[in-house]
Amino acid sequence: MLLASDAVRPSGPDTVVDALARLTRRLGGDAAAASDLATLSSGYADALESLGRTDHVTLLPNRLRFVDVLAQRADLPGRTLMLVTLGDARHYNELLRALGQGFGDSFVRAGAGILIDALPPGTAVFHVSVLSLAFLVDDAAGAERLAATVAKLYERPLRCEGLDIPTRAGIGLVDFGPGPCSPAVMLRSALAAAQDSRSRQAGWARYDRLSDEAHQRSFHLVRDLGAALLSDDQLSIRFQPRIRLADGQCACAEVLLRWNHPTLGAISPAEFIPLAEATALIGPVTEWVLEASLRQSAAWALQRLDVALSVNVSALNLQAQGFAETIETLLGRHGVPPERLELEVTEGAMTGDDETTAASLATIRRMGIDLAIDDFGTGYSNMGNLSKVPAQVLKIDRSFIQPLTVLDKHRQLVRSIIAMAHDLDYRVVAEGIEDQGTYDLLAGWHCDQGQGFHMSRPLLPADFVAWLGTRA
């Protein structure tokens, strides 16, 4: 049996060289045998070393050797590093999934092959990551011409084992300045430029500090969000009242997450939620919000404040195994009845064909928790889907509500949405009501509830209670 520790035990040159040294000692006086062993031993070490510095798919020198080249050469200023990446990870994974790892290797070899054929003979090309190749170009002007030529190469699909496979190539350029360069920074900058190039007409891009700073900010935010979840003073929630338009009573409150970053200040969830969704953090973030919401709900219940809370949930939460069970555990822990909780999900999240999502939604409904379709009207809303979605509440996106008093077309649209949603037994909520005129229009159309700055901004718990007091 292979133990976990065996898998990580080093089997590199050191242990082999040690064994050879022991053997040499045992050979005692046999000088010829000892010399043979020494030759074998150093040859073996060299082979291992070279194996570790060669890419096994293309047999090109790998990133370690490129880093050495960058670190050792003094003649780099004025030169340009060009990095060509053959596709993004998603594209490559789809290829592997459909056609297998062997095909993936052929794809990379074919991509490297046409690049090498197009470069001046003798150009040293390095295979610096699974999908990326890098090399040095002598002058900056020449580099741009070459980049344009290389971009053209990948416009056509790659011929690979008889199939035509489209690439999603990216080409990044970074110039070497007069100062010393850090190879890792140069490579990272080139990769950032290559990624940016995918959205450029030219097909290549020079390293752009501004765009890179945006990426770096994202990276730092994601990293710091993990710490924010563990700290007790960075994340907090606000409550925005939802009003019954018929009698002006508060029906419920939407929970909105806020992050006060220790150095960057307030970060909008519109910025950090998508980052959490791109990493594994969206699970813990939503759990944090649910926990904080239910704790508050329980505290308000003790004060005989009966207010339901509506929590935003990401599509990815529903796709995660065990999400509904987590909610059940949290409700139990805080002693909050399920009808005090509602979950807001975008329409797209509910209409896919993901089995785990369907199971999560079914369990959530069985528990007695209401579901709301958030941001209705944005994205690819499809009226036909509405009858299939297991939701009870429909929230019309604020982009339709805000121009209501000025745009005829939106008036017609919102009236029809309300009527149709009622036919399908939805409760309808209008988001983003900012003035009395809009409020009156919606009330006249029998829209059930409204939310917006006209009634209240999202509030801290104490302010929310005070606000409720003024309405009683």
Among 129, 100, 117, residue whose Cα is nearest residue 154: 117
Question: Shortest approach of Mn ion to residue 349 CB, angstroms?
Answer: 12
Interaction residues for ligand G, span 239-258 (CB under 6 A): 240, 256-257
Instruction: Provide CB contacts within 8 A for 72, sequence distance 6+.
Output: none
User: Of 47-55, 122-130, 193-201, 262-270, which part binds ligand G (CB under 6 A)?
Assistant: 262-270
- For residues 286-325, which are near ligand G according to CB under 6 A? 289, 312, 314
The binding site for Mn ion (CB under 5 A) comprises 312, 344, 374
Q: Is 205 in the site for ligand G (CB under 6 A)?
A: no
**Measured between alpha carbons, how far is 78 from 141 in angstroms, rounded to an integer?**
10
Burial 161-192 (b: 16+ CB within 10 A, else e): eeeebebebbbbbbbbeeeebebeebbbbbbb
Residue 71 forms beta bridges with which residues?
none
Alpha carbons 187 and 341: distance in angstroms, whole number: 48
- Phi and psi at residue 234, in whole multiples of 5°? -100, -40
Smallest distance, ligand G to C-beta of residue 375, A: 5
Task: Rank residues 102 and 274 by Cβ distance to ligand G and give the closer one.
Answer: 274
Pairwise CA distance, residues 206 & 300, whole Å: 56
Among ligand G, Mn ion, none, partner that 434 touches (CB below 5 to 8 angstroms by kind): ligand G
> Based on C-alpha coordinates, what's the Rg of the chain?
30
Rounded to the nearest whole angstrom, what is the least distance from the CB of residue 283 to ligand G in the complex? 11
> For 428-462, b where at least 16 C-beta lie within 10 A, e where not — what string?
bbbbbbbeeebbebbbebebbbbbbebbbebbebe
The torsion angle over the Cα atoms of residues 238, 241, 242 and 247, rounded to 10 degrees, is: 170
Segment near ligand G (CB under 6 A), from 85-93, 353-361, 422-430, 431-439?
431-439
| 224 makes contact with ligand G (CB under 6 A) | no
- Number of shown-chain residues binding ligand G (CB under 6 A): 21
Query: Closest approach of Cβ 101 to ligand G, in Å?
Result: 36
Residue 442 binding partner per list ligand G, Mn ion, none, with a CB distance cut-off of 5 to 8 Å that depends on partner kind: none
Q: Which does 224 bind (CB under 5 to 8 A by kind): ligand G, Mn ion, none?
A: none
Query: What is the closest distance, in whole angstroms, from the C-beta atom of residue 311 to Mn ion in the complex?
Result: 9
Q: Of Mn ion, ligand G, none, which one does residue 364 interact with (CB within 5 to 8 Å by kind)? A: none
Residues that bind ligand G (CB under 6 A): 240, 256-257, 268-270, 273, 289, 312, 314, 374-375, 398, 431-434, 451-453, 458
